[in-house]
Chains A and B, each alone.
Chain A
Amino acid sequence: KNQVEQSPQSLIILEGKNCTLQCNYTVSPFSNLRWYKQDTGRGPVSLTIMTFSENTKSNGRYTATLDADTKQSSLHITASQLSDSASYICVVSSGGGYNKLIFGAGTRLAVHP
């Protein structure tokens, strides 16, 4: 069964600190892996997208890694800001004719001053 699991479920950090969010997946076939940021009550917004051959990709203070052998990905946030408070969703695409995405349940991050 195609699944995407994320940990931790929730996380609280102080402003300025770094954090790392984890994603494990069992999706086959694998096309690409994405990280989305979702503010409360809003639609998800893409942060990064990586294919099988990409190990790391950065978007500002966000850096995603991918280990296709162990089927693990991480999202590292550097020098957190209050605006980073949101849910971060790991999404794996199994390809196919309509770009089917399998979503994780997300990690809810709260950045406190």
Chain B
Amino acid sequence: SQTIHQWPATLVQPVGSPLSLECTVEGTSNPNLYWYRQAAGRGLQLLFYSIGIDQISSEVPQNLSASRPQDRQFILSSKKLLLSDSGFYLCAWSVGTGRYEQYFGPGTRLTVT
């Protein structure tokens, strides 16, 4: 069966520090991968999506970047965190498009102080 992992689960970082969040998927090949951010009281916002290794698209201009060094590994990074980067970050995967399900990871709670 397929599983998705994210780490760390929680993170507290000072403003201006770097960031690296990791997501890995097991039990499937060539998944579509997604990074979302969820702010308090707001809907999930798509940050990045990837249909293959080194194929990444950004949905919104921001302080973050994403990389996919391996088929089932997706990394969210920042060189210098801003206070506004605080939030709940979710990784998701899907196979195919259209009505195919997106399966979400457990999330990472990031607090920038």
Residues of A near any B CB (own CB < 8 A): 4, 31-32, 41-46, 49, 51, 89, 93, 95-106
Contact = CB atoms under 8 A, between A and B. Distances in A.
Among B43, B46, B96, max chain A CB count under 10 A is at B43
A45 B102 contact: no
B101 interface: yes
B32 A99 contact: yes
A84 B37 CA distance: 24
Interface of B: 32, 41-46, 49, 51, 57, 88, 90, 92, 94, 96-107, 109
Interface centre among B51, B98, B107 (most CB of A within 10 A): B98
Given A43-B104, A43-B107, A99 B98 contact: yes
A98 B48 CA distance: 11
Given A45-B104, A101-B44, 17 more contacts: A4-B43, A31-B99, A32-B99, A43-B90, A43-B92, A44-B44, A46-B101, A89-B43, A98-B32, A98-B49, A98-B51, A99-B102, A100-B46, A103-B44, A104-B43, A105-B41, A105-B43
A73 to B, nearest CB: 15
Contacts of A42: 106-107
Given A98-B57, A99-B32, A49 B107 contact: no
Contacts of B103: 46
19 contacts: A31-B98, A32-B98, A32-B99, A41-B107, A43-B106, A49-B99, A51-B99, A89-B44, A95-B97, A97-B97, A98-B32, A98-B97, A99-B98, A101-B102, A102-B43, A103-B44, A105-B41, A105-B42, A106-B43
B32 A101 contact: no
Nearest to B99: A32
Nearest to A102: B43
Contacts of B94: 99
Contacts of A43: 90, 92, 104-107
A49 B96 CA distance: 15
